[in-house]
Amino acid sequence: MRRLLENGANSSFVSVAADPAVPIAVILKRPQDWIGKPERARHAHIPLPRDLFAPEWKNSSGVEFGDGEAIDALLAEIKAAARLGEAVPLIDGVAVKGRQRDVLSPIDGSVIGTVQEGDAAIVAAAMGAAQAGFAGWNARPVVERAAALERAGDLIEQNRARLIALLQNEGGKTLDDCVSEVREAADMCRYYAAEARRALVPRALSGPTGESNELRYRGRGVFVCISPWNFPLAIFTGQIAGALAAGNSVVAKPAEQTPLVAAQAVKLLHEAGVPPTALHLVPGDGQVGAMLAAERTVAGIAFTGSIEVACLINRALAGKDGPISPLIAETGGVNAMIVDTTALPEQVSDDVIASAFRSAGQRCSALRLLCVQDDIAERVLTMVEGAARELSVGDPRDPATHVGPVIDAEAKGKLARWIADMHGDVRFRWDEERPLPAQGTYVTPTIIALDSARELKQEVFGPVLHVVRWRAGELDALLDDIAASGTALTLGIHSRIDATVEYIAARLPHGNIYVNRNMIGAVVGSQPFGGSGLSGTGPKAGGPHYLQRFALEQVVTINTAAAGGNAVLLSEEE
């Protein structure tokens, strides 16, 4: 059917070639002859990548990975900028010194820097300093706050080599993932700047003559931003940018494993014009996060991480005396992909490999559960296994590497125990006879066969894919099994039947549904990211409703009749 549709189209080469009225010379005419001058090669109404979101905000710049010269230039840039071994200072306004700890690389376990971690005294000092800095930042006009964020986006792009070096050495990220993350961080800053100008400016409301009504937005106070290690730049920066755009001051606690990336991001935000009094960095482990969440003066918390920690933060906020503070939480999920018999196996294979194994499976959106209709299951799974076998596992600083290390020894041990416990169900394991680096926290891609989707009750955060088969007539039961996990973050659907796609999307409340494509890499402004149920509270990051959650609403009503009446109405002509 697909070939009939494609080849039967009036514009198809097959259709034109069969028309005796069309000369062969016309069919074989070179594209260069059609186009003529180089400036005519691009359609005038198709924007360049930089202008894709214009005029609201400018898109970040990428790298053409098929261009050898571009890759060589980027690698040279990274090498020149890779000054590791630095210490993470505590931010201005916090004079107390904390415990110093070495930062280890997941690539080989080497020490790449030191960090002064927070404690009770530092948490209290940081919150006090942020409270003191709130009023000044909140008083700045929206356009000034937005301009600072736009400058931060520019600085992030200008410092991409330094940031990529840190992401690789501290986060164990491959080159393509690093480039994408730098772009996302810059996009977050620019997008929230544009959204602040659109959504946070005063807005006139309707009302009777003799009064004016205006809706205004203002910051809530001190926002605590707690971010994960899997996107230590993009999520860290995005949370902070959202809170700052709305007029809040921020105390940011990065993941314990990735303080160096966080410190660099804060440095760039300060350089862009965010005052040190409005943004403070407090590195540390989960106990530091718990202390921040328990602070009485917290006006709100933005959190991305595990479901378990999100629940703990929610309880801490609920049990605290004082104003009721919002929690903006993004967590993970048992993300599934449903494949029916109309899907294209080659496309399914490509999308499964990217969704399950890119970033070593360490994405909130990563594919955890592949559900393939039984009629094509063996063919699809054989193709997926063959593609997985061709992946390169190793040092992420090598551009040829597809799968780098997991974040630390604890994560590696947890994954190893899960695979060992599921040993009898392991269908595929990447050939471990191929040499891996002698040091580092590497877990090779693994595929585990399950009898039912209900068997997978928790998120397995790594390069481990679980597969189940389903038969015709069992779709509703499968959807019930997927929903039973209580998570609803990302969902993939591979089907050529529109009615099937719409039926599944209507049945499941997942925040992001991807059809006939991979299910990772949500783009700021195009695919706002976030789930429901156990997968998040909303609103979606990188979306048009995010900033309002960080702000307080205020309505100012003025009796204009007290000043002599409605001057506008009195001046109206007949």
Q: Which residues have a catalytic role annotated?
A: 330, 364
Structural tokens at position 343: 């899907």
508 in the Ramachandran plot: left (φ > 0), alpha (ψ -120 to 50) or beta?
A: beta
Residue corresponding to tokens 């966080």: 262
CA distance 509 to 502: 12
SS3 state of residue 518: coil
Candidates 183, 126, 152, 160; CA nearest to 245 is 152
Contact by Cβ (8 Å): 251, 280: yes
For CA atoms 503, 505, 508, 509, give the dihedral sign. negative
Closest by alpha carbon to 536, among 366, 330, 332, 363?
330
Whether residue 173 contacts residue 167, with contact meaning beta carbons closer than 8 Å, is answered with: yes
CA nearest to 475, candidates 339, 343, 335: 339
Rounded to whole angstroms, how far apart are CA atoms 278 and 313?
23
Contact indicator for 115, 211 with CB cutoff of 8 Å: no
Backbone angles phi, psi at 111, to 5 degrees: -80, 125
Using the Cα atoms of residue 559, residue 560, residue 564 and residue 570 in order, give the sign of their dihedral.
Answer: negative
426/418 Cα distance (integer angstroms): 11
Q: Answer left, alpha or beta for residue 291, where phi above 0 means left and psi between -120 and 50 means alpha.
A: alpha
Please list the alpha-helical segments (H only) found in 333-373: 345-357
Calculate the alpha carbon distances from 194 to 191, 200, 494, 527, 547 in Å: 5, 10, 35, 16, 11
CA pair distance 395, 514, nearest whole angstrom: 30
Q: CB–CB of 234/181 below 8 Å?
A: yes
Q: d(Cα 60, Cα 468) in Å, to the nearest integer?
A: 39
- What are the tokens at 308? 């378990």
Angle at 302 between CA 298 and CA 305, to 5 degrees: 125
DSSP symbol at 46: S
Tokens of 51: 């202008």
Distances 278 to 155, 325, 534 between C-alpha atoms, Å: 19, 19, 32
Q: Where are the alpha helices (DSSP H) in 302-344?
A: 307-318
